[in-house]
Chain A
């Protein structure tokens, strides 16, 4: 399998985008909007001029005095809002970059019956399939996906995510996608990178990001709860952290100074009574919101989000305003240094969730 290697620097409006990355299979970059995610794809496609080196195997696209034009880089770029040619039919769109495989691709993406339709007549999901087919028709060496699921409604999104997963496996192309949604990234990519202000904060498997986040940004992107506090003392393998809210929590991670306490929603349980267990961290509060997610329920208690089963939510008769205890084990917490502070962190080995 081919490898896309990119190592470049691109000045953006408020910061420099710096990125060094090897894409062998599927890599997703996640980050807040304005982090420079789209610029990464545009730079690789040659639509934006940067300094550095970009190559597909030994085919250099940028660097060593080479700067190939976008049409000379073998990329299949799928734009966030698809950027289909409005004046061309579906067939005209797909065949724009290469005529040979048009029929095969129309069939592969189940858009054969739409061959004569114009893009404005298509639904969001159909447009995306046309955009993918069009990108693949030119026989790219690398696939670049800009927010592949962002323009879709929630209902379509789940189905498209599954299809996209299968497609990426089937294609076997080095694929780089950018998304603001960690769940999408984790579902579609083998390696996930967190990009903040043009800087790659952490690069690893979705499991590594969840179990060992490098910093608070990464932690919050994986959907974890993040409680700010300061380490008070270490005692017998347990670190005591005084939260900004005044409460005390314990962690089996070791750290010093200002820290973020990271705990995942599925590691937080909800109870009506004070569980008298010293190994448990307890936060008392009122239920602020209840949102079903699949067969589970997300409950917001004070600063924490807990994910509990439907049956336990019913058993506890949870309602907005109920006074409950949210509890989580000291072993379920990670301590990450807060931005700017150089507190040392040693993450204890932890089974991936």
Chain B
């Protein structure tokens, strides 16, 4: 019996080490293949700076849109009970599980020149923004909904009885109390937006300086200049790590939501 335990223990340890190594290796390889100095040098190439500018611009606009339209939707879904709410939540979740190619196809079918709304957005920078917003918004809206739901309803009610209307209550009480969850969700959405590939290449193409984001540029470059592709990869790894650390900080720092005295509250 003891010997069997030992064997199982060793096997489990080996499996754990293999799994961890497998996850670390590709990321490490990006940094190990080319010396860091050369990586930084590669970043000044025209393809990279163009992609960087396109990515920064489209990401910021897309995330601004996600916040602007996603926040009211998340609050509505969190605070109201209405017929069709479950359906609405499912529709919000859908882009999460949708294959990116299907998302790109759908965006073309909706906004393409011969699409449902027949616009001239396709293959412009606006198309990148829409694609990024489409795939990343659930990652913001769903945690935002959870954050709004976690706000103590009594605290919201207290604000109302103290003479504050719904708008003042939202901005002075609900938003500050939910901000941790909102920031965490936005970090996730931002990271997902940076990595967006499939929907973008179908709906916006990959035109350098216009629609070619870092993710698309890596794909274009890796067969031409592998080191430049690596440099952009390294840049995205660094940004991802920063976002991940930010997310962990936000999640560990949560304002205490309830101020209610516990049953055993200390006396004066």
What is A's interface to B at a CB cutoff of 8 Å? 42, 45-47, 69-71, 73, 75-77, 79-87, 96-98, 119-120, 123-128, 134-135, 137-138, 151-153, 155-156, 159
Contacts and interface: CB of A to CB of B under 8 A. Distances in A.
B264 A87 contact: no
Contacts of A137: 162
A42 B157 CA distance: 9
B90 interface: no
Contacts of B161: 45-47, 70-71, 73, 75-77, 135
A158 to B, nearest CB: 10
Interface residues of B, number: 30
- Of residues A70, A96, A123, A156, which shows the largest number of chain B Cβ atoms within 10 Å of its Cβ? A70
B267 A134 contact: no
Nearest to B260: A81
10 contacts: A73-B161, A77-B158, A82-B261, A87-B176, A127-B261, A128-B261, A135-B162, A153-B265, A153-B267, A156-B265
A80 B256 CA distance: 18
Interface string B50-87: 00000000000000000000000000000000000000
A137 B255 CA distance: 25
B257 interface: yes
Nearest to A41: B161
- Of residues B155, B160, B161, B263, which shows the largest number of chain A Cβ atoms within 10 Å of its Cβ? B161
B164 A71 contact: yes
A138 B163 contact: yes
B163 A71 contact: yes
Contact of A70 (B155, B157, B177, B261): B157
Given A85-B173, A87-B177, A125-B268, A71 B165 contact: yes
A86 B162 contact: no
Nearest to A73: B161
A330 B176 CA distance: 64
Contacts of A135: 161-162
Interface of B: 152, 154-155, 157-165, 172-173, 176-177, 255-268
Nearest to A110: B268
A81 B258 contact: yes
A86 B257 contact: yes
A81 B163 contact: no
- Of residues B158, B164, B173, which shows the largest number of chain A Cβ atoms within 10 Å of its Cβ? B158
A135 B265 CA distance: 21
Contacts of B159: 85, 96
A152 B266 CA distance: 8
A141 to B, nearest CB: 12
B265 A124 contact: yes
Contacts of A134: 158, 162
A126 B165 CA distance: 27
A49 to B, nearest CB: 13
Given A71-B165, A85-B173, A86-B256, 20 more contacts: A47-B161, A69-B160, A71-B164, A76-B161, A79-B158, A81-B259, A82-B259, A82-B260, A83-B158, A84-B259, A85-B155, A86-B259, A87-B255, A96-B164, A97-B163, A124-B262, A125-B267, A135-B161, A152-B265, A153-B265
Contact of A138 (B162, B264, B265): B162
Contacts of A76: 161
A123 to B, nearest CB: 4
